[in-house]
Structures are given as C-alpha cells and as structure tokens.
Structure 1
Amino acid sequence: MENSNKFLIIKKNPYIVVIFIQFAYAGMALLSKAAIAQGMNPFVFVAYRQAIATVALAPFAYFLERKEADPLPYPVIGKIFLISLIGSTLSLNLFSYAINYVSATFASASINTIPALTFVVSILFRVESLSVTRFHGIAKVVGTVISVSGAIVFALVKGPKINFMKWSSKDTHDPASHLMSAKDKLVQGCLLMILANAAWAWWLVMQAPLVKRYPAKFRLALLQSLFSCIQSFVWAMAIERNLSSWKLQWDLNLFSVAYCGIVVTGLVYWLQLSAVESKGPLFTASFTPLTLFITAFISALVWKEILHLGSICGGILLVGGLYCVLWGKNKEVEVQANTDKADTKAETIV
C-alpha cells in the first residue's frame, strides 16, 4: 500500500510528470548559463549547488528511509566516494565550465547523447554485450553514431540563419556571445560538454550495482551529494582563491544555485526515479528531446537567440539517434524476455 501511494502521482499523471522533468532540466541549462555568463565562477557555482542539494536531500533521506539505512562497510563507502568524484563532481564541473563557451540550447541538445554514451560505457565495462549479428544490436550502434554526429553537427555546422522570431541582428543577444566568438573556444566547450555527459553516463552505469548493495535511494543520493560537495569545494578553492568570488547576494546567481540544488537534484531526482520505477526507463528517456525544444524556444524569447540550419539538422540527428538507441534497447529487452520464457517453459516440461 505504501509503495502504491509513493508512485500515485506518477501513475495518475505520467505525462505531466515527465514533461515537468524536461522543463526543470531546461531551466537548469538556462539558469546555469545566465549565472556563469554574468561572471560567477563555474566551480564555485557547482560547490554551492552541491551544498544546497545536500541540505535539500537530508530531510527526505531521514524521514522516508529511516528503516532502510543499514551500516555501510568501508569498501562501499569508498566506491560511493569514487562514483561521486567522477559521476557528480567531474561531470558537473565540466558542464559548468563548458557552458561558458556554448549556448544553453547546445547544452540541452547534448543531453540527448547520454543514452548513446551510456551504451558505449556499458560495452566498455562489459555490463552489456555488443551483438552486431542481431538487428537490435545494429540499431544501438547506428543510433550511437548518429547521436554523437548530431551533437557535432549541432555545435560546429552553421549554415543559413533560421529566425523564427524575426529578430534583427542588432536585437540578438547571448549572455556569453563574446566568449563564443573564438572558434577554438567553441570546439573546446563542445568537447568538454560531451565529456561531461560521458562522465554522467558512467555514473548511470555504476548506479545499478550500487543500488543493489544499498537500496535506500535517497540516502544513497544524499551521500553522493555530500561527497561531491566536499570534492567540489576543494576543487573550487584550489582554483578560485579570490574571496569576493565566493560571495552570494540576493540576485540571479543565488536563485540559479538554489534552483539547481533544490529543484533539479532534490525534486527532479525523486520524480525521475519514481517515473523509471513506475513506467520504465524507456518511457522516461523518450521525453528527453523536449529539453532541447524548450531551451531553444526560451532562448529565442529571452536572449533572442537565432538558430542556424546546421543546428536544426544536428538536432534532428540527435533526436533520431536517441530513438534509434531506445528502439534497439527495447527490442533487446523483448528478445531477452521471450528467451527467458522459453527457457522456463522448457524446464517445466522436463
């Protein structure tokens, strides 16, 4: 009864919930971009974000999972620390640094590469097997190539301007357009953004065995946020020693940090976890392209950003590659389920 109540909001309004998740991620890209473009140090941003996330997750972990908290052996604590270092600290710091040099729209677009990168990491760690003799295996490989190619095309290929809002060239504004003028910085930003997504994909792959060892998910998230907070503060203090860069005021910077820490890491984490458990990972992942469209629309309204034909073509490739990977994964699950049923039936007959 308790478990059904826990996911009641997901079962009644699954589409509203997953759409809200994509709006939240779009807000993360837009607000992170705005705060860092206004001069906030990206590493300080991540340190404060993780601190607020830790505080936000603490009451959920305490009140919802008091009975599920078993003592952790030191090897598991060490594993959580390592996963936090790569999956949270490295990924978020790379993302925040890279967003200096790319648009918020590209940051959202690159999220669509995560399922493909997760597939690559799963192959490298032998979590999944690569079956090129089966059609679903070929679909995942082709989808991965298309998805990563789409990200490259989106970032580097311009072409004619597509000005939906009819802004004049004098009206258009990007909070970090002066930083994006150098092509080498743009390429660097794109590569770092893809590396950030690769680190996040590694984090996703490592979560499955970790959750089996420690099923209290909120407490696990709290520990990872706490470790990431400590690591991010050490990282930020080693790079940014100017105390004035650490001061927070009642402005957009504070709102952006609080939003990313409370809404994205706190509320959205629980909603996404609930959606995956209730409706499955494919249902949740299939809505990921919405983040790109939401971010592009808001960027056009707020910053009067003009897209190029190359960006639109890259976005189409990104989304197409994503659905190709998801389709291949879905077929693989179906084939495995049918095989398991056949084996069970054969054992029953024997």
Structure 2
Amino acid sequence: MGLESYKPYIAMIIVQCIIAGLAFFSRAAMTRGMNPHVFVVYRQALATLVVAPLAFFLESDKSAPLSYVLLCKIFFVSLFGVTLSMNLYTSALKYASATVATATINTAPVITLIMAVSLRMENISMKQWHGIAKVLGSLVGVSGAMVFTFVTGRPLYSSIQKGISEPSTKHSPRGDWIKGSLLMLSVNTTWSLWLIMQGPIVKQYPAKLRLIALQSFFSCIQSAILAVSMERNILAWKLGWNINLVSVVYCVSFWPHPLL
C-alpha cells in the first residue's frame, strides 16, 4: 500500500487535531474571562467576512435561486442549529475541560443516528454486518464519552503541595464537571438536529459556500442580540492582543464552518 491509500486516515487525524485545538483555544478564552456569547459573535462575524468573498468568487457560476421561504428556512436552521449550539458550547467550556468537550463530540453521531432512525431517514438492519457495526460503534462512542464525563482522577499537580491555596468556588469541581458535560450533551443534540435539517436545505440550495456564509451571517446577528441582552458591560466586548483574539482567529482560520 502506497502513501495515497493512507491520505484519508492522515486527513482524519489532522481534522481531529484541529477540533482539539478549537476546544483548547475556546476554553482558554473562557478561563481568561471572555464572555461566551461575545466570543460567538466575534467568531461568526469573522467567519462571515472570510467565507462570503470565497463564496462570491468560487460559486459565481452556480445557479442557486434564493426564495423568501428558503431564506426563512436558512434563518431558523441557523437559529436552532448554529446559534443555539455554539452558545451552549462556549457556555459549557466555562465548566468542562477541553478534553471533555472533545470527547463528548463522540455522542453526536449516535444522537444523529437515533434522530435519523426515528424520522425514518435511515434504517438499521441487525441481520447485516453494517447494521451491527453502527450499533456497536454507537455503544463504544457513548461509553467513551461517559467515561470522560463521570470518571475523574486525582490532579497531576497539586497547587496545595506547592504552598498555593486553592480559591474558593461557588460550585464544586465535580458539579461543574457534570454541568459542563450535560451542556455538551445538549450541544451535540442541537448539532445532530442541525445535521438532520441540513439535508433538505442543501438539496434546495446546493451552493454550499454561500449557504455557510448565510448561516454564519444569520448566526452573527442572532448571537449579537443574545449577547447584548446577556452582557451589558461594554468592556466585555473589548478585544486586545491576547489569547481571546488568538482564539477567535484560530477558530475561524482553521475551521470557518458555522458550527464547531
């Protein structure tokens, strides 16, 4: 087997590393005090500025009529599948670690499969090997996510042993851990719903880059309204030359998709 046959596996490893980086940098911004809703606004605004020119130049020859009804569908898909999911995701990172955030992504295919089967968009035959593989793969993915969620060990480094006192917190570390994990589960549920809704939308509007640009734009407006209602302090919107700016740029540069 030559190097050509390994390209799909290498690509998947690179994608997983990028996703891990998304969780790491987003978590770093949250721990530095950045408001999660403001983070989403900046990310979606920058994503729109990046994807919109690409869609204009690369899909200028594609015929994709955009009706008022279809535009409303894209708006609501953006609201429930992108805006809600991303705001829940960044809120979850205030409580859960980047490791938990990355691990619980494994539940998304399982939830998507359950939704697809429930809506009769997909069938599972336990008499065929691929049906058994889907069920076993789902069980393994959920089991791994549950282990990361509920099994915690001792910290590798104890600040108490170094003579540094631990700050008191309102919530216990384990309570925050479970809260963040449950929020991540809700994120994956809304993400799975978004994936299900994407099918009919893509058939009606095959210009994928333009579709991503529209969803990013709608999500930016929706998230801005949510952020303004949740955060009234103008200083929370300030971006400096720090990890907050790096996190926003990284998320858009390496993953300009409107979700994760």
Q: Scaled by the length of structure 1, what TM-score is found?
A: 0.65
Is the aligned partner of 1:222 residue 2:213? Answer: yes
Question: What amino acid is aligned across from residue 110 of structure 1 in structure 2?
Answer: T
Shift of 1:252: 0.8
More divergent stretch after superposition (143-152 vs 206-215)? 143-152
Shift of 1:148: 2.4
Structure 2 matches for 1:7-22, cutoff 5 A? 13-22=7-16
**Distance (whole Å) between structure 2 residues aligned to residue 97 and residue 137 of structure 1:** 35
Larger radius of gyration: 1
More divergent stretch after superposition (76-85 vs 26-35)? 76-85
What's 2:243 paired with? 252
Question: What amino acid is aligned across from residue 119 of structure 1 in structure 2?
Answer: L
SS at match of 2:125: coil
Out of 83, 86, 91, the residue aligned to residue 97 of structure 1 is 91
Question: What amino acid is aligned across from residue 239 of structure 2 in structure 1?
Answer: L
Shift of 1:262: 2.6
Shift of 1:227: 0.8
Contact kept, 8 Å, 2:80 with 2:194, in 1: the verdict is yes
Please give the per-residue CA displacement for 1:231-276, whole angstroms capped at 9, x wherever unaligned: 111111111111110111111101101111232115x99xxxxxxx
Q: 1:199 to 1:177 in 2, by over 3 A?
A: farther
Contact kept, 8 Å, 2:103 with 2:144, in 1: the verdict is no
What's 1:61 paired with? 55
Shift of 1:76: 1.1
What's 1:213 paired with? 204
Question: What amino acid is aligned across from residue 149 of structure 2 in structure 1?
Answer: A
Shift of 1:132: 4.4
Shift of 1:18: 3.1
Out of 17, 32, 41, the residue aligned to residue 38 of structure 1 is 32
**Distance (whole Å) between structure 1 residues aligned to residue 241 and residue 64 of structure 2:** 40
Shift of 1:142: 4.2
Shift of 1:23: 1.9
Is the aligned partner of 1:181 residue 2:172? Answer: yes
* Bigger fraction of residues in helix: 1
**Distance (whole Å) between structure 1 residues aligned to residue 31 and residue 76 of structure 2:** 30
Shift of 1:177: 11
Contact kept, 8 Å, 1:100 with 1:179, in 2: the verdict is no
Contact kept, 8 Å, 2:83 with 2:219, in 1: the verdict is yes
Q: 1:65 to 1:93 in 2, by over 3 A?
A: same
Shift of 1:127: 1.2
What's 1:325 paired with? none
Contact kept, 8 Å, 1:117 with 1:198, in 2: the verdict is yes
| Structure 1 residue ranges without an equivalent (≥5) | 1-9, 270-350
What's 2:185 paired with? 194
Equivalenced residue count is 252
| Structure 2 residue ranges without an equivalent (≥5) | none
What's 1:341 paired with? none
**Distance (whole Å) between structure 2 residues aligned to residue 32 and residue 65 of structure 1:** 31
Query: What is the root-mean-square deviation in Å for CA atoms of aligned residues?
Result: 2.8
**Distance (whole Å) between structure 2 residues aligned to residue 62 and residue 123 of structure 1:** 37
Give every structure 1 segment of 4 or more consecutive aligned residues whose post-TM-superposition deviation is greater than 6 Å: none
Shift of 1:50: 0.5
Shift of 1:202: 1.5
Out of 210, 222, 236, the residue aligned to residue 231 of structure 1 is 222
Shift of 1:21: 1.9
Shift of 1:130: 4.0
Contact kept, 8 Å, 1:131 with 1:138, in 2: the verdict is yes
Identical amino acids, percent of aligned pairs: 47
**Distance (whole Å) between structure 2 residues aligned to residue 136 and residue 69 of structure 1:** 37
Shift of 1:141: 3.3
**Distance (whole Å) between structure 1 residues aligned to residue 146 and residue 8 of structure 2:** 32
Q: 1:11 to 1:63 in 2, by over 3 A?
A: farther
Please give the per-residue CA displacement for 1:209-241, whole angstroms capped at 9, x wherever unaligned: 211111111001101111111111111111111
**Distance (whole Å) between structure 2 residues aligned to residue 135 and residue 237 of structure 1:** 51
Is the aligned partner of 1:47 residue 2:36? Answer: no
Structure 2 matches for 1:272-311, cutoff 5 A? none
Please give the per-residue CA displacement for 1:99-153, whole angstroms capped at 9, x wherever unaligned: 1111101111111222111101212322112434545434433433442233222
**Distance (whole Å) between structure 2 residues aligned to residue 69 and residue 33 of structure 1:** 40
Q: 1:69 to 1:237 in 2, by over 3 A?
A: farther
**Distance (whole Å) between structure 1 residues aligned to residue 9 and residue 103 of structure 2:** 21
What's 1:293 paired with? none
**Distance (whole Å) between structure 2 residues aligned to residue 204 and residue 116 of structure 1:** 12
Contact kept, 8 Å, 1:102 with 1:180, in 2: the verdict is no
Contact kept, 8 Å, 1:156 with 1:187, in 2: the verdict is yes
